[in-house]
A and B are shown apart, each in its own frame.
Chain A
Amino acid sequence: MKRLEAVNDFVVKFANVNGSGSASANTLFAKAIMRMGVPVSPRNIFPSNIQGLPTWYEVRVSESGWQGRRGGADLMVAMNPQTWEKDVVEIEPGGYLFYDSTKPLPADKFRDDVLVLGMPLTEICNAAYTDPRQRQLFKNIIYVGALAALLDIDIAEVEKLVGEQYRGKEKLLEPNLKALHLGRDYALEHLPCPLGITVRRSDKVGEKIFIEGNYATALGAVYGGATVCAWYPITPSSSVAEAFANHCRKLRVDPDGGGNNFAIVQAEDELASIGMVIGAGWNGARAFTCTSGPGVSLMTEFIGLAYFAEIPAVIVNVQRAGPSTGMPTRTQQADVLSCAYASHGDTKHVLLFPEDAREAFQLTADALDLADRLQTPVFVLTDLDIGMNERLCRPLRWDDARTYDRGKVLDHDDLESGKRFGRYLDVDDDGITYRTYPGTHPKRGSFFTRGTSRDRYARYTEEGSAYVDNMQRLLRKFETAKQYVPEPILRDAGRPARHGVIYYGSTACAMDEALAELEAEGIALDALRVRAFPFQDSVIDFVNAREHVFVVEQNRDGQLRTLLLTEGALDPARLSSVVHYDGTPITARFIRREIEERLSAFNVRPLRRTAAAGE
């Protein structure tokens, strides 16, 4: 049997039991490879559970820097008897199976086309430690030590990371290092080190950072000037609010003892969360909430109010698989339509689609500007894949010269100087009207905010003409939004292409890889990464200029495609859906295969490139 052989290009999957302390050991493993200059992209695959159910951690090692999920596993670290059968099946032929061999397993539990690496982890642990919790926790560190030997990971990098983790807690440092070496020494002595798959020091990481999406989103809210955060716990978004609280404690406490320059309220439900955000936005503070699909469903009445009464609000939706409770710990992009048209009556909302943690940072900060500029709710649509996984990104940047765009606000002096004020009076002809904050001026600028229809001076009315006038202005405002929201990013095939592909959000990392593979096969595709709704004309033009465009997304119904068809008045025959929605992140393999099949149905023959000399 041929063993898999690869340097810096393989997938290791850890099958663990939730709550067994494996997470920090697995992160240690991923980070050690990254410290060797080799890009990794790990993914947590976890259940809606705190203790006892299966959980996986999948680490893709890719010298080329591909961040998408690859699919399959070359080395399975099978630590969970509950999922043994399924885990063993998932190993690529010629791959490797690492397991705890303390308790012997019958031969039919194994596959003969994978190399089995048994190590008596429990036995080693029980011999070295007496405390049951230590026996459990150090088992994880022991297997990291063994894997370092098996994959030729520089043990000095692992030791350094452990040292950083336990800086100031020297009592914990020693036993961890001991466990690490117990594992490594055993593997070096008893197992065929190194395996066919190995890590070799490289320089592909550079200054990149390893950052979780929700952490970055929260940081974007800090940098963007959010002072009020109201939220209700829901997976996979809770860590946005928790990270915001942590960032604020470090970055937003007045150094002169003046107190907190932020206010965070864990509300009683999502209705109250968005209500508080709207109240704060109405009163001139930058405010946001973070939630997931079910939360947005609950917020829709309020979102309609904010749209109609024109109040800034930022809603971060870390999407998960719906409908209903769906698969709460699995990823999807299934809230595009429910956010775009959230609430009853005619509404449209601004949506932003960051591709990764770095862009989540940028676009969350931008969303706070946009909400003030456009005086309307702005959604930041990430998903579980972006939010709850650490990913390698370019370092975060902030332009210190940047100032907050507070939009059209009349202050005391404006009102004092006699500037004409009508809350819904479109003086600039861009659909965006001027507002005042409560308490600004003793005599001028007060108005009544309401969800009912009103005239240009905010006076209650049920006159049809005044209602239509207002609704038309809201459409003009949405048109104006196109010039403020982030532009789509075009990736030209570099040669004439009849076909195109549109994608967004977390699909980007798999798409980058799929495009490279398709290109290598001679298939030319122009690609457009949409970053916002409303769609700029360039998005619609992209479709109209091509024979056929695929819209790749992670939901069942092709929601972005529907939005494009509706808003761009496009011919449905020119746009087809490539959808992946089983709750796992989309892969390059899947995209490539789907597009190849569709193209062959169109009778498109790839122009096979002749292999370069030496290949």
Chain B
Amino acid sequence: MSLSIPVIETRRLVLRGPEAEDYPDFKATFASYRSRFMGGPLNAYEAWMLYAAEIGHWQVNGFGMWMIHDKVTDETYGMAGGWMPAGWPEREIAWIIWPDAAGHGYALEATNAARAYFYESCGWETAVSYIDPKNLDSIRLAERLGALKDREAATIDGNDAVYRHPSPGALKGSQLAHGIEMEISHYADPLFKPKGWAID
């Protein structure tokens, strides 16, 4: 069995497969309250097993979650990519940003690139994000990505809202796609100060 995890470069970020050396950063966030919408907080054993599962997910499904790195410093900011464990009605686009990396648009930039990869290189025609209704930051990010609440779609367990991403055809060359690019370029501008509360 051989599998390669693609490396994706964006304006400010590099997305790579999860590696052993990145684990402490993952563990710190999953031990914290920040992870409450992703099944956390987790103890040391649970966090390690989840990280191992993030890696195995790539092999079993052929896609998975990337570790988000700064292109220049290589430090990690969080994870983004595809997720489909047992019991998921369909393939999900997911993300988590370490608490001290929030507010820089990294989740938007990484998730936008991950979605483009799934659409263009993996042939996905659709994708959803399952979001806890109390997770306002993630709902806001889903909306910035153009995802809309899909009330017809199956949920994981009834406690999550399903946000459906625009299809590849609806996204390509759209005003929405340009808007996302523009927002990312704003964040990349060192003089840019986002108004309002910090968003991912």
A and B bound?
no
